[in-house]
């Protein structure tokens, strides 16, 4: 019966060692090329930035003046009624039970009269203060008192829907 001869380890290892040495030399060469190339690239970029800086310093200074269009200033809405004479309709726009009553007590604690307290017809993404025509100043003041950023004229409601209220506070999440 024939048995294949196995190659001695001495014959296999020189090839493996030679391959490792070749890979190591190639890695060192690659590293050297990257360092040299990076140095050249950095030198080129530095030279370009120096040229750009020199051109900017040597460029003539333009003193032309651009004026903005004149806008008419809108009159700042100022509250004409005291808080005690301003009626606020409080609506729950977040769906949590009892939230409108809690908001109404906050409104009342700031000196406003509270009209109806009920649920909003739909949920809102954030709290809103809305005002009837002629009550922009009062609406802005209520928004500031409650920390509400969105203060707007009536949107989706009519003045007659408010009953005796001048402002609407819709409580969001």
Is the sign of the CA dihedral 33, 37, 38, 39 positive or negative? positive
**Least confidently predicted of 10-19, 69-78, 85-94, 139-148:** 69-78
Using one digit for the tens of pLDDT, what is the confidence trace for 44-72?
Answer: 888 888 888 787 777 666 665 666 666 66
Number of structural domains in the chain: 2
Give the whole-angstrom CA distance, residue 88 versus residue 165.
5
Reported as half-sphere exposure (CB side, CA atoms, 13 A), residue 39 has a value of 6
| Enclosing H/E stretch for 151 | strand 150-153
Please check whether residues 52 and 94 belong to one and the same domain. Answer: no
In a domain, 127, yes or no: yes
Please check whether residues 88 and 150 belong to one and the same domain. Answer: yes
Question: Higher pLDDT residue, 69 or 137?
Answer: 137
Please check whether residues 110 and 146 belong to one and the same domain. Answer: yes
Please check whether residues 18 and 94 belong to one and the same domain. Answer: no
Question: Higher pLDDT residue, 167 or 53?
Answer: 167
**Least confidently predicted of 10-14, 35-39, 155-159:** 10-14
Q: Judge whether residue 24 has pLDDT over 90.
A: yes
Residues 102-115: what's their mean pLDDT?
89
Helix, coil or strand: residue 116:
strand
- Specify the pLDDT at position 11: 54
Report phi then psi at 129, rounded to 5. Answer: -115, 125
Which domain covers residue 44, as residue numbers? 8-59
**Closest by CA position to 128, among listed 109, 104, 147:** 147
Reported as half-sphere exposure (CB side, CA atoms, 13 A), residue 140 has a value of 10
In a domain, 99, yes or no: yes
- Specify the pLDDT at position 2: 67
For tokens 């008419």, the residue is 72
Give the whole-angstrom CA distance, residue 133 versus residue 155.
11
In a domain, 141, yes or no: yes
CATH label of the domain that carries residue 94: 3.30.70
- Specify the pLDDT at position 21: 92
Please check whether residues 88 and 166 belong to one and the same domain. Answer: yes
Please check whether residues 91 and 167 belong to one and the same domain. Answer: yes
Q: Residue 67: CB partners within 8 Å, gap ≥ 6?
A: none
In a domain, 70, yes or no: no
- Do residues 101 and 77 touch, judged by C-beta distance below 8 A? no
> Chain-wide mean pLDDT for the chain?
81
């Amino acid at each position: 019966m024939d048995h294949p001869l196995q190659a001695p380890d001495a014959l296999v290892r020189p090839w493996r060692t030679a391959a490792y040495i070749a890979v190591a030399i190639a890695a060192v060469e690659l590293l050297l090329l990257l360092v040299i190339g990076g140095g050249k690239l950095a030198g080129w970029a530095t030279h370009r930035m120096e040229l750009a800086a020199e051109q900017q310093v040597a460029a003539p200074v333009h003193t032309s003046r651009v004026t903005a269009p004149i806008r008419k200033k809108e009159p700042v809405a100022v509250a004409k009624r005291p808080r005690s004479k301003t009626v606020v309709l409080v609506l729950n726009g977040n769906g949590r039970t009892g939230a409108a009553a809690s908001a109404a007590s906050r409104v009342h604690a700031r000196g406003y009269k509270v009209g109806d307290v009920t649920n909003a017809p739909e949920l809102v993404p954030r709290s809103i203060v809305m005002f009837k025509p002629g009550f922009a100043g009062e609406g802005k003041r209520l928004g500031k008192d409650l920390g509400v950023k969105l203060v707007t004229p009536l949107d989706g409601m009519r003045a007659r829907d408010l009953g005796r209220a001048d402002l609407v506070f819709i409580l969001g999440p």
